[in-house]
Amino acid sequence: MENLSVEDRFRLIEENYKLIRERIAAAAQQSGRNTEDIRFMAVTKTVDPIFINHALSLGIDLIGENKVQELQAKLDFLKPEDVEKHLIGHLQSNKASKIVPLVSMIESIDSLKIAKAVNQSAEKIGKVMDVLLEINIAAEESKTGFLPQEVLENAEAIALLPHIHVCGLMAIPPMCEDAQNSRRFFSLAHQLFIDIRSKNIDNIDMNVLSMGMSHDYYEAILEGATLVRVGSALFGARHY
Ligand SMILES: *Cc1c(COP(=O)(O)O)cnc(C)c1O
């Protein structure tokens, strides 16, 4: 990867994107869904803006970053500057006021406390912040997010915050060698999504189910993902 010229990397991103689009279409078809109902996010952490901009020139219209500071540092270099951006990494309360003006969605709301901090920051700038609730779908010690049995109760509490709009759920299953093994976790997340939607809670719209990354977006779509977050399969392996 390091030895590739910028032009070669551009071409690789183009080829990768074409392949990903084909696989998204195939997964949609296999599960009887419309390709248009599945949104694609380019995960741009550690990626140099020159390559992000090349991806945007291919028609990608949504990027995701994990860290507030990294996003801030890239903003001036992005073309178009107003490309839609989501935060997908854990957020600390003291960074809420920094991120709220910068993104159209925070996908990683993982506690009532952070929801309250985001609500407060959004109120200050007169914004209603779209959010997803992050689910720790396999109850892993190492991961943040709401446990499946805690989601509904927290969703109800968060829905009462007037400057927050709950739009759906985000989940990351345990790392599995074989993506087939992730399907039951994706299915569980989808079931939660459907259950909460069926309750018709005020200020909760279960429209976005964000799950599936480079190695398992195909399986996530089969289980109902509406948004897939893809980094390395598009840009190549990350170098930290
Ligand atoms: C890094 C990251 C991704 C993308 O990971 P890849 O395996 O490179 O596709 C997706 N979602 C989150 C939350 C991430 O941190």
> Which residue has a Cα nearest atom 10 of ligand 1?
229
- Distance, C-alpha 223 to centroid of its chain: 16
> Which residue has a Cα nearest atom 11 of ligand 1?
229
| Percent over 90 (pLDDT), the chain | 94
Q: For ligand 1, which residues put their CB under 6 angstroms from it? A: 43, 45, 66, 88-89, 172, 213-214, 229-233
* Closest atom, ligand 1, to C-alpha of 43: 4
Residue type at 167 in one-letter notation: C
Residue type at 181 in one-letter notation: N
Q: How far is the CA of 212 from the centre of ligand 1 (A)?
A: 9
Each residue of 50-99: pLDDT tens digit?
A: 999 999 999 999 999 999 999 999 999 999 999 999 999 999 999 999 99
| CA dist list (Å): 168 to 85, 127, 129, 131, 146 | 16, 18, 13, 7, 13
Each residue of 10-64: pLDDT tens digit?
A: 999 999 999 999 999 999 999 999 999 999 999 999 999 999 999 999 999 999 9
* Closest atom, ligand 1, to C-alpha of 215: 7
Please state the rounded mean pLDDT for residues 114-130: 98
DSSP-assigned states of every residue in 102-170: T-SEEEEE-SHHHHHHHHHHHHHTT--EEEEEEE-TT--TT--SB-GGGHHHHHHHHHT-TTEEEEEEE
The answer to whether the predicted template modeling score (pTM) of the entire model surpasses 0.85 is yes
Each residue of 146-189: pLDDT tens digit?
A: 999 999 999 999 999 999 999 999 999 998 889 899 999 999 99
Q: How far is the CA of 197 from the centre of ligand 1 (A)?
A: 26
